[in-house]
Chains A and B, each alone.
Chain A
Amino acid sequence: MTEEEIIKGCIENNAQYQRLLFDRYAGKLFTVCRRYAQNEEDAKDLLQETFTKIYTHIKQYKKEGSFEGWMRRIAVNTALKFIQKKRIVFTELSEKTHDVYRISESSLSRLKTEELLKLIQSLPPGYRTVFNLNVIEGYSHEEIAALLHIHPASSRSQLSKARLWLQKEIHKLENSLTEYERRKI
């Protein structure tokens, strides 16, 4: 079944095609939702809302750019709205964490994707949002500032702290893993 056929079926409100669309893209879109949400429950709600919007507005897809990209944008916008509704405050946490953690490539590659997702979910909301928008979605700081109604400098600062936070957490994981392996030997 081609993508175009699925889109056409969804425009006609055909349940079979809607299910096909869900089966084909829900996994990727759920990853997007999980990256922005603080917990799994919120992520499920975001995905539900994302698909509802996709089914409702699928007629508006102009075939400019990829369909998956269009759906991803819906997921990201839904997540951002959700965040704004929750009135996330972009806090300046832990000024002390200016330490640099040395993370080796090998230790990074040992991390499973699910663990990475958990790490991202553990980030404070402001850090998480900026990190996702900049690093994964590729938005510039100016664009992020406009989306989140913050100053570009604040976006930069949040991103830098998000990185430090992640590095620190990965470092911790690495240490605990090394300790575990050492004991095992």
Chain B
Amino acid sequence: MKEEKFDNFFKSRLSNYESPIPDELWGKIRPNERRKTFLFYKWLAAFTLALFILGGGYWYFLHSGKSKINKTSKVANRKNLTQNDSLHLKKSLQHHTTTIRFQNNSHLSLTQKKLLKEETTIHPATNTFSFLPHKAEMIALPFSSFEIRHITNTNLNELLVQQHSLLLPSVAGKYITKEKTFSQLSENNSNTGKQQQKTKKATPFYIEWYAAPQWLWEETWNYTNQSYNYSLAANEEKRFSLQPRLSFATGIGITKPFSKHWSLKSGVHYSQVNEKYTYSQYPYARTVTSISQRDITVDNQPVIISDTAQYIQIGLEQRSGYNRYHSFHIPLLLSYTTEKDKNFSFAAHAGVMINIYNFYSGETMNKNAEIVPIKSDHYYKHHTGLGIYVGLRAEKKIQENIRLFAEPYWNAGFSNSTTSQTQYNRKLQTGGVAIGIQYKWQKKQATPQKNKVSNSIQ
């Protein structure tokens, strides 16, 4: 048969032939439904992230706004004080002159300014005014709508008052109701000042970015098919081998301290684990032609003689490639840190990693010992649930708000990454060293403005 006829025969038979479609094939394609699933997890991830941000934000403002909350309690104190405890106030302050420093008096009413002028002594050089103890109630009450923000205590029990903030009733009320003497109050004012400065200073957030070279640390292997012939499986294992290759991870994190040493950490963690696979399959035969040449002399004439030999090589076809396992996690970690303000600090993190989504490329061996692509979720799971994370960190301050860090870590999933369709069950564990940068973000406070008030008071 001529080549052309032969070719045409194949072409005519195959060009429009419709192969029967396996039932499960549409299930693998379903573009819209797959997109919906992906969108669902995308939204779930976004929702979780938003929840963390909102929760963190709420918590932050709740704590940074401590003074605002205190304001309520102070107002309550003040009311009690104005109605019931004014005598205590007088008594407590009777032997001392109290000096109050205003940052800005623009908010004061004329009556208040007049009162200050008449009943107090103004010290323009220090932006302060002082009054005698028996005037305390008189001075305090008209300004009771203000709230104390900063209290510093010098030798003269100086109270520092910011804009929209005053004054004695709350502080006095706080201590007077505890029946403390003014000397105690003075002492306590000093401490309270420090404490209040501390609480008033908003607790910072730490935002960080990191990248990490990592390695497939360890794997748990066992056969999915318990009745499998183990000696055969061992051969299959030789036929299909995997070698870990350098992998990496990267992510962003947010840390919120809730005490001096303890903090909570979250963020988004992306990891890519690489492996090289090698396998051999199908008996493979090829014919090798070997041509050798010799120079010989015939009748004193040089003659070249060529010998041709052919042999067939039989073997297995070797193939290799790379498997890549991509995963997205949301970490929820508890962290203990040594003194954060120092140049060097150390931290230990531990917690769970919530797996959001995994995707894969490469090949694996299924339970029938066939080599199959792993891109579908038939062999490797898209979601593996929870995992554990442990890390130790060293930090170095490079600027006031910026720190560099290095963190050796170990991360392992609780459940298998593989389905029951693969030859083995695998739990992927990774270890690496995250190198990153951390930025301290803190809500700024209004800085005290000096040398502004006294003149207008006068």
- Residues in A lying within 8 Å of B, measured CB to CB: 13-15, 18-19, 22, 26-28, 30-31, 34-35, 41-42, 44-45, 47-48, 51-52, 55, 85-87, 91-96, 102-105, 108, 113, 116-117, 120, 134-136, 163, 166-167
Contact = CB atoms under 8 A, between A and B. Distances in A.
B11 A136 contact: yes
Given A113-B14, A116-B13, A136-B15, A45 B286 contact: no
A45 B21 CA distance: 13
Contacts of A52: 29, 31
Nearest to A82: B373
B29 A113 contact: no
A34 B372 contact: no
B6 A94 contact: no
A19 B19 contact: no
Nearest to B3: A163
Given A28-B17, A135-B10, 8 more contacts: A19-B26, A22-B26, A22-B29, A31-B18, A86-B319, A93-B287, A116-B13, A116-B14
A51 B29 contact: yes
Contacts of B13: 113, 116
B194 to A, nearest CB: 63
Interface in B10-38: 10-11, 13-22, 25-26, 28-33, 35
B350 to A, nearest CB: 40
Nearest to B372: A41
Contacts of B26: 19, 22, 26
A95 B286 CA distance: 9
Contacts of B32: 13-15, 18
B10 A95 contact: no
The main secondary structure of chain A at its interface with chain B is helix
B19 A31 contact: yes
Given A85-B321, A116-B14, A95 B25 contact: no
8 contacts: A28-B16, A30-B19, A44-B28, A95-B310, A113-B17, A116-B13, A120-B14, A136-B15
Contact of B25 (A26, A102, A136): A26
B304 interface: no
A167 B1 CA distance: 10
Contacts of B22: 44
A27 B31 contact: no
Contacts, number: 108
B289 interface: yes
Interface residues of B, number: 40
A42 B31 CA distance: 20
Contacts of A134: 7
A93 B285 contact: yes
B370 interface: yes
Interface in B307-322: 310, 312, 319, 321
A62 B224 CA distance: 49
A74 B138 CA distance: 89
Contact of A116 (B10, B321, B375): B10
Contacts of A14: 32
A104 B2 CA distance: 10
Contacts of A51: 29, 31
Interface string B279-290: 000000111010
B14 A95 contact: no
A173 to B, nearest CB: 14
Contacts of B285: 93-94
Contact of A117 (B3, B7, B19, B33): B19
B88 to A, nearest CB: 75
Contacts of A108: 1, 6, 9
Interface string B371-388: 011011000000000000
Given A85-B321, A93-B286, A104-B1, A45 B19 contact: no
Contacts of A18: 31-32
B401 to A, nearest CB: 45
A15 B33 contact: yes
Nearest to A55: B31
A154 B14 CA distance: 25
A13 B289 CA distance: 57
Given A28-B18, A136-B14, A105 B1 contact: yes
A113 to B, nearest CB: 5
Contacts of B17: 28, 31, 113, 117
A35 B13 CA distance: 12
Contacts of B1: 102-105, 108
B133 to A, nearest CB: 80
